[in-house]
């Protein structure tokens, strides 16, 4: 009422309320500031490989996702720092789905929360070389803790036999010439130290091979009968070469061809040939292993996993699995310059089998889990899948089964039923570089799931993978990066329920069919460019796409259930903000030498010889100088800008497959 007085008690009450509101406001403001500011926590340096270094830096805060980590590196002794791609934001509240949702126990935790942080790699370094690395964390909201980390790291060297080790010799049973000493009756005898024959199966012995021992296997055919109780080959009861002795870093137990002719280890139909799941730092070189289900059994999840396995310059043929190592406690494999030939038909199609896949006896050439592995310069043919991470590697570190810091590069993969390469089950820092993939029957490259990321797909070739409508099969994952790949498949995701959070798709060349592809009731053709993600920070730009049809919805973006489709790339860019610098391509005349493959869904067409296909762009092709600069990835470009696709027009093609042929 006018002229009325407010009581002292009311005034005091209003003051208390005002003070309380101020306190609450300051509290909320401080809390919001703290949540948006980033706090630097533990930095994990992952197992180095020969050419890569990986990092996982945990944080708190940064709820508005604007913190960044810049990456710089240089060789020890150099003055100038080199810039690299930044680390990628991980976590962001993401839950990893183990696929156990139907587990009958209602108290079972089917999800694992990915820790908040940043992860990433520096790639294409020199082996056995020391580098200085600097990581700089910034955030406009503030950084708590140590924001700059600087340290010296060294890449791994290629494993070799120890030069000063004891030498043991093994000869085939029918050898009649002079033998170098000391001679052991078979491989298990030479490695485990006790002759395995008849009743004698002692595997722990004072005379077993010590770290650094070199076992020279002399020329001939080693074919034992594991059904024969008295066979001198020593496989009865075991049915396989079971090794129990360990080498150590720098001093492996090396089992190598002696150099006096071809060494053929004929498994004679056994289930497994080398059982090395509990033996660390074994080295195999120059051997032919054939006629077995699993050539190298190196571990099964939850049972055992070995460390430091090296397989070099070997030929592994007529097998169902080449190297099987599915326990992620395995570390630091080096699988290089080998030939893997599976049991599947070499012509890819078996008329006696129903379905487009044909007969599929063979599983994987290489299937592994763990950390620090390198699989490079191998030739792989006639398997269901080529080179894979074990799909059921898990994310929770309490389970001890994370797969991270793994390199697949410069492999030559041919005639595959399903996926040339799988990053499935990877946790972080999976690097897939410069692989050539010809003649596939399904989804060429797979990423399902990836728990934290990043996964790098860089400069890979996919040619004649017609059964798969998309280059990349992607279901559930985060921080998946595609740079400079060339593919004759469509670019699309596996289904419309993909849960990818962040993708970065730049400088890729997609050369799918320009018309509907039909065969019987099957039809393939739309859309030609499909991007699925759930993060508005995703980058999709500078990609070249082959387009032929008009007036149809060819370009689509799907985000969190919403779908935008357009008929042209220009409309697509205007509607989505993606592909602002993208270009369209008409035909295969942009390549030095390549005819368009058959895109028919049944994939019964002919097989293409990679040696007769040259996918480098001609100097006048529209993809030349049309890409963007990616620090550390394409610094060696020539011309005004990097070329789009896997190759620079005036540079030599990389070497694919074994370097010894």
Which of 124, 154, 184 is the C-terminal boundary of a domain? Answer: 154
The more confidently predicted of residues 363 and 531 is 363
Q: Range with the lowest mean pLDDT among 54-68, 276-290, 294-308, 357-371? A: 357-371
Following DSSP, what letter does each residue of 433-478 receive, concatenated? ES-EEEEESS-SEEE--BSS--EEEES-EEEEE-S-SBSEEE-S-S
* Phi, psi dihedrals of residue 49, rounded to the nearest 5°: -110, -170
Tens digits of residue pLDDT in 389-447:
998 888 888 888 899 999 999 999 999 988 999 999 999 999 999 999 999 877 889 88
pLDDT at 374 over 80: yes
Selection from 15, 26, 61 nearest residue 41 by Cα: 61
The more confidently predicted of residues 298 and 478 is 298
CATH of residue 63's domain is: 2.60.40.10
Distances (CA, A) of 158 to 155, 312, 534: 10, 10, 40
Alpha-carbon distance of 372 to 325, in angstroms, equals 13
Classify 554 in phi/psi space as left (phi over 0), alpha (psi -120 to 50) or beta: alpha
Which of 129, 154, 179 is the C-terminal boundary of a domain? Answer: 154
Selection from 446, 455, 396 nearest residue 421 by Cα: 446
Domain tally, the chain: 2
pLDDT at 527 over 70: no
Whether residue 179 lies inside any domain: the answer is no
CB 119 within 8 A of CB 479: yes
Whether residue 540 lies inside any domain: the answer is yes
**Any residues with CB less than 8 A from the CB of 571 and at least 6 apart, and which?**
555
The pLDDT assigned to 478 comes to: 85
CB 529 within 8 A of CB 508: no
Alpha-carbon distance of 69 to 363, in angstroms, equals 40
Whether residue 228 lies inside any domain: the answer is no
Share the mean pLDDT of the chain.
Answer: 87
Whether residue 232 lies inside any domain: the answer is no
The more confidently predicted of residues 14 and 43 is 43
pLDDT at 4 over 60: no
Whether residue 425 lies inside any domain: the answer is yes
Tens digits of residue pLDDT in 34-66:
589 999 999 999 999 999 999 999 999 999 999
Whether residue 393 lies inside any domain: the answer is no
Following DSSP, what letter does each residue of 204-262 receive, concatenated? --TTSPPTT-EEEEPSEEEE--TT-TT-TTS-TTT-SEE-----BTTB-EEEEE-SSS-
Whether residue 252 lies inside any domain: the answer is no
The pLDDT assigned to 1 comes to: 43
Whole-number CA gyration radius for the chain: 28
Tens digits of residue pLDDT in 142-180:
999 999 999 999 999 999 999 999 999 999 999 999 999
The pLDDT assigned to 19 comes to: 43
The pLDDT assigned to 392 comes to: 84
Alpha-carbon dihedral 630, 636, 640, 645, rounded to 10 degrees: -60
Whether residue 627 lies inside any domain: the answer is yes
Selection from 561, 598, 594, 558 nearest residue 578 by Cα: 558
Which of 90, 125, 154 is the C-terminal boundary of a domain? Answer: 154
Confidence at 355, pLDDT banded by 50, 70, 90: very low
Alpha-carbon dihedral 533, 539, 545, 550, rounded to 10 degrees: 60
Domain that holds residue 48: 38-154
**Any residues with CB less than 8 A from the CB of 354 and at least 6 apart, and which?**
none
pLDDT at 364 over 90: yes
């Amino acid at each position: 009422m006018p002229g009325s007085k407010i009581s002292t008690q009311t005034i005091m009450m209003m003051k208390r309320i005002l003070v309380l509101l101020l306190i609450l406001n300051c509290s909320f403001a401080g809390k919001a500031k703290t949540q948006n500011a980033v706090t630097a926590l533990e930095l994990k340096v992952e197992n180095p490989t020969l050419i890569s270094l990986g990092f996982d830096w945990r944080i708190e805060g940064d709820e508005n996702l604007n913190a960044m980590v810049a990456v710089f590196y240089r060789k020890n002794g150099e003055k100038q720092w080199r810039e690299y791609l930044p680390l990628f934001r991980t976590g962001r509240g993401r839950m990893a789905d183990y696929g156990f949702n139907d587990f009958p126990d209602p108290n079972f935790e089917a999800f694992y929360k990915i820790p908040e942080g940043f992860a990433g790699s520096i790639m294409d370094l020199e082996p056995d070389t020391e580098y200085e690395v600097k990581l700089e964390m910034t955030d406009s909201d503030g950084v708590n803790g140590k924001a700059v980390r600087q340290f010296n790291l060294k890449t791994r060297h290629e494993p070799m036999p120890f030069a000063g080790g004891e030498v043991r010799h093994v000869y085939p049973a029918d050898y009649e010439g002079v033998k170098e000493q000391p001679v052991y009756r078979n491989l298990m005898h030479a490695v485990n130290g006790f002759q395995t024959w008849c009743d004698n199966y002692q595997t722990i012995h004072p005379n077993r091979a010590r770290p650094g021992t070199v076992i020279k296997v002399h020329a001939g055919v080693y074919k034992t009968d594991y059904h024969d109780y008295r066979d001198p080959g020593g496989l009865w009861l075991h049915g396989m070469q079971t090794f129990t002795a360990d080498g150590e870093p720098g001093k492996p137990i090396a089992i190598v061809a002696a150099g006096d002719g071809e060494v053929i280890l004929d498994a004679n139909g056994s289930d497994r040939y080398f059982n090395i799941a509990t033996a660390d730092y074994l080295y195999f070189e120059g051997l032919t292993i054939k006629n077995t289900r699993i050539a190298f059994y190196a571990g099964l999840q939850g049972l055992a996993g070995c460390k430091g396995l090296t397989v070099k310059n070997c030929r592994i043929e007529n097998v169902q699995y080449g190297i099987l190592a599915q326990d992620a406690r395995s570390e630091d494999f080096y699988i290089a310059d080998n030939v893997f030939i599976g049991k599947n038909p070499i012509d890819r199609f078996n008329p006696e089998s129903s379905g487009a896949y044909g007969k599929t006896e063979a599983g994987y050439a290489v299937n592994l889990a763990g950390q620090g592995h390198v699989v490079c310069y191998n030739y792989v043919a006639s398997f269901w899948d080529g080179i894979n991470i074990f799909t059921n590697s898990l994310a929770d570190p309490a389970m001890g089964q994370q797969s991270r810091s793994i390199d697949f590069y410069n492999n030559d993969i041919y005639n595959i039923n399903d996926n040339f390469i799988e990053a499935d089950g990877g946790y972080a820092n999976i690097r897939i570089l410069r692989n050539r993939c010809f003649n596939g029957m399904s989804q060429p490259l797979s990423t399902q799931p990836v728990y934290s990321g990043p996964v790098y797909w860089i400069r890979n070739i996919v040619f004649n993978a017609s059964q798969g409508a998309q280059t990349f099969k992607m279901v559930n994952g985060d921080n998946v990066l595609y740079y400079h790949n060339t593919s004759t498949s469509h670019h699309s995701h596996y289904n419309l329920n993909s849960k990818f959070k962040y993708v970065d798709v730049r400088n890729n060349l997609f050369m799918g069919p320009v018309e509907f592809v039909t065969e019987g009731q099957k039809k393939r053709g739309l859309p030609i460019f499909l991007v699925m993600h759930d993060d508005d920070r995703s980058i999709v730009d500078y990609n070249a796409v082959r387009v032929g049809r008009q007036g149809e919805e060819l370009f689509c973006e799907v985000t969190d259930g919403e779908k935008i489709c357009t008929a042209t790339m220009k409309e697509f860019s205007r509607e989505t903000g993606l592909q602002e610098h993208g270009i369209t391509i008409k035909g295969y005349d942009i390549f030095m030498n390549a005819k368009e493959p058959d895109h028919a869904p049944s994939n019964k067409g002919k097989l293409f010889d990679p040696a007769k296909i040259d996918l480098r762009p001609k100097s006048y092709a529209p993809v030349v100088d049309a890409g963007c600069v990616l620090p550390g990835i394409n610094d060696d470009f020539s011309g005004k800008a990097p070329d789009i696709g896997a190759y620079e027009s005036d540079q030599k093609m990389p070497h694919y497959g074994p370097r010894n042929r």
